[in-house]
Amino acid sequence: PGDAQAPAAGAQPADGGPAAQADASQPEASQADGAQAEPARSEAAGAALADMQAAVAACPEFTIGEGDSATAASFSPRDFPTIGDEAFAATLSTSNATTGDLVTHFAKVRQGHVVISIFHAGDPAAEPLDNTLMEDLAGVAVSNLAGGPPPPQP
């Protein structure tokens, strides 16, 4: 609720740290320790996703900014299949006297300790979003995470 900031698109760990990358120089013990941290990081990512979904439900209408530059905004839930460990989707509609109307469809998908964000924005008068494209993209992103390195150590 209140002022909003658009999240960056792409896969990022829920803790905001850099995405996990393979590093052949890490000792195997470190890799094993990272794998042991996976349940805690997955739980944190799940909590972050639940917080995002709760914020969308708790604050369906809000204003970004104030005065002449104020932008009216509203969320509406979207149907989206469970891809990865869990997922949800919504549409953010915004309207501003200067910039006009914009509709942004987004999906949040969690796989392990990673939350993937997918956005599609456009003119609300244009053809409606083909949800299949967003679902396919989410599926590819989740499959790209399979067999990746364990999460970084805390």
| pLDDT tens per residue across span 12-57 | 444 444 333 333 334 444 445 555 567 888 899 999 999 999 999 9
Separation CA 154–CA 116 (nearest Å): 20
CB 94, CB 122: distance < 8 Å: no
Q: What is the pLDDT of residue 119?
A: 93
The residues, ordered by sequence, that sit 6+ positions from 79 with a Cβ below 8 Å of its Cβ are 89, 131
Q: What does the DSSP 8-state code read for residue 146? A: T
Q: What is the pLDDT of residue 33?
A: 52
Q: What is the pLDDT of residues 55-109, one digit of tens each?
A: 999 999 999 999 888 999 999 999 999 999 999 999 999 999 888 999 999 999 9
Q: What does the DSSP 8-state code read for residue 67? A: G
pTM of the full structure: 0.69
Q: Which two tokens stand for residue 112?
A: 């392990």
Residue 112, exposed/middle/buried by CB under 10 A (0-12, 13-18, 19+)? Answer: buried
3-state helix, strand, coil in the chain (%, to 5): 30, 30, 35
114-122/100-111 β-pairing: antiparallel
Q: Is the pLDDT of residue 9 over 70?
A: no
